[in-house]
Amino acid sequence: MSESKDQITVQTTAAGSHGGPAVEYPKHDASTDANHEVDSGSEAPADQIDKQKKGFLAYFKTKEFYIILILGQILAITNTATSTFSTLLSEKGTSIPAFQTFFNYVLLNIIFTPYTVYRYGIKGWFQMVYKRGWKYIILAFCDVEGNYFIVLAYRYTTMLSAQLINFWAIAVVVVISFLFLRVRYHITQILGIIICIGGMGVLIASDHITGTNGGDVSSGNQLKGDLFALLGATFYGLANTGEEYFVSTAPVYEVLGQMAFFGMIINGAQAGIFDRQSFRDATWDSKVGSYLAGYTLCLTFFYCMAPLLFRLSSAAFFNISMLTMNFWGVIIGIKVFHYTIHFMYPIAFVMIIVGQLIYFIGRRVLGEARKPWLGRNQERGVAGLFTAKKKIDSTAVTPNSNPNSTGNDTATPNHDHLTSHTSPV
């Protein structure tokens, strides 16, 4: 959710370097680009699609913009729910940061790993793990630590503060994407992000002026909680960027299956090392069990939906969408936790909202679904749900339709016999 979930090592891998007979990565062939250029004259199909709507607000006129808004709000509400359960567990005296997220990875592993094995075959699955497993280990590590430190932050700071500080992940995403994924941001995007970061400064100032709104506010603990939240947000930024990269080049079930598989191992080991005393000291009753179940279900749903937003937009866009969860957090916090809101909080909210709106200005039709590391026509990507490649392929086959071809044949011509781009995800 909100990054995870990818480290710099993952980002620097060339987009076309994924090999292996059992993987759904297209082989990059220069002739593919040439064919696209010939088919569409001097203009690539992706460029033609981008010019279908004119104006500085072109992206606001697309259905994808509204899908992003709706999906972003669904994820924001879900993420707010997980934060609420974390706070409720902390108030019950049950703070087990690593163990709390362990069942999420177990559930994701149960859902996606068997399906990946089914699609690739047991031999193909082992080959995929052998060739790319180390990258998924880095991705899983960043995701696990992001969850760990965010949950740990709830011991010392408020749900509202931890959520707002999370948008530090946006800055991490922007820097990593710019340096290693060749993403270039429009001036309005940079301006929107700067305004959001300014909101974070207002928030922290408010938190330390009051020293209230929940959490352990004894000397130094409020600051400690904020620092844990910042550290967790940093790992989330790394994980989010890595996940955006992977789901653009591989099926969602492979990415989530591998992240859950290695995340379960890393998280389990971490829980065994760091959570033993917390586990013994924790309160265990029916309410705690229901909070853990609610947390796990909400977080699993969040993980299943987040890759679709990564494909349709970007990791930066994803994190900006998550900022609206703070409004849901305020509503819940006032009713459930009896928060008192300092006058500086609304200022922070206004700054975040203004920054989010400015970020959207200037997007073209394909928006951020068109990934720069996948090639001009996304030829190095996977044609899955919500990908630009799927839209480009479906548009490109119209003027050159072959009566012998099928509507589901969205792959580039030079795939080996085990490569498939017909998967819905």
DSSP labels for 315-372? HHHHHHHHTTHHHHHHHHIIIII-----THHHHHHHHHHHHHHHHHTT--SSGGGS-G
Q: How far is CA 409 from CA 8, 30, 230, 420, in A?
A: 34, 20, 45, 9
Give the residue, 376 or 138, on which the prediction is more confident: 138
- Between 125 and 409, the higher pLDDT residue: 125
Least confident of 17-21, 215-219, 291-295: 17-21
pLDDT classification of 403: cutoffs 50, 70, 90: very low
Does residue 422 sit within a domain? no
Over residues 99-149, the pLDDT tens digits come to 888 999 999 999 999 999 999 999 999 999 999 999 999 999 999 998 888
Residue 165 is predicted with a pLDDT of: 66
pLDDT averaged over every residue in the chain:
77
Rounded to whole angstroms, the Cα distance separating 176 from 46 reads 25
Which one has a higher pLDDT value, 141 or 376? 141
Q: Examine residue 300 and state whether it is found in any structural domain, yes or no.
A: yes
Query: In which band, very low, low, confident or very high, does the pLDDT at 207 lie, cut at 50, 70 and 90?
Result: low
Q: Is the pLDDT of residue 33 over 60?
A: no
pTM over 0.95: no
* Residue 183, pLDDT above cutoff 50: yes
Residue 128, domain member (yes or no):
yes
Whether 198 is covered by a domain: the verdict is yes
Domain that holds residue 252: 8-396
Contact partners, residue 175, CB within 8 Å, separation at least 6? none
Which of the two residues, 311 and 319, has the higher pLDDT score?
311
User: What are the angstrom distances between the C-alpha of 133 and each of 104, 116, 275, 353?
Assistant: 20, 14, 27, 39
Inter-residue contact 86 to 329 (CB < 8 Å): no
- Asked if residue 184 has pLDDT above 50, the reply is yes
**What pLDDT score was predicted for residue 122?**
95
In a domain, 421, yes or no: no
Is pLDDT above 70 for 390?
yes
Tokens of residue 69, six digits? 């808004």
Domain count, the chain: 1
| 332 token code pair | 């819940």
With b meaning 16 or more CB within 10 Å and e meaning fewer, what string describes 369-380? bbbebbbebbbb
Give yes or no for residue 351 having a pLDDT over 70: yes
* Percentage with pLDDT > 70 across the chain: 72
Q: What's the pLDDT at 21?
A: 38
Q: 361 and 354 in contact (C-beta within 8 Å)?
A: no
What confidence tier does 10 reach under pLDDT thresholds 50, 70, 90? very low
Q: Single out the residue of 68, 26, 80, 6 nearest to residue 318, CA to CA.
A: 68
User: Which band of pLDDT confidence, cut at 50, 70 and 90, is reported for residue 394?
Assistant: confident
pLDDT for the residue numbered 40: 43
Which of 250, 190, 255 minimizes the C-alpha distance to 384?
250
Q: Is the pLDDT of residue 363 over 50?
A: yes
Q: Could you tell me the sign of the dihedral formed by the alpha carbons of 275, 266, 75, 183, in that order?
A: positive
Q: Is the pLDDT score of 415 beyond 50? A: no
The answer as to whether 3 is a domain residue is no
8 A C-beta contact, residue 253 and residue 116: yes
Segment 395-405 shows an average pLDDT of: 51
Q: Read off the pLDDT of each residue in 243-260 and give the average, rounded to a whole number.
A: 96
Tell me: pLDDT of 82 over 50.
yes
Q: Which two tokens stand for residue 170?
A: 């946006």
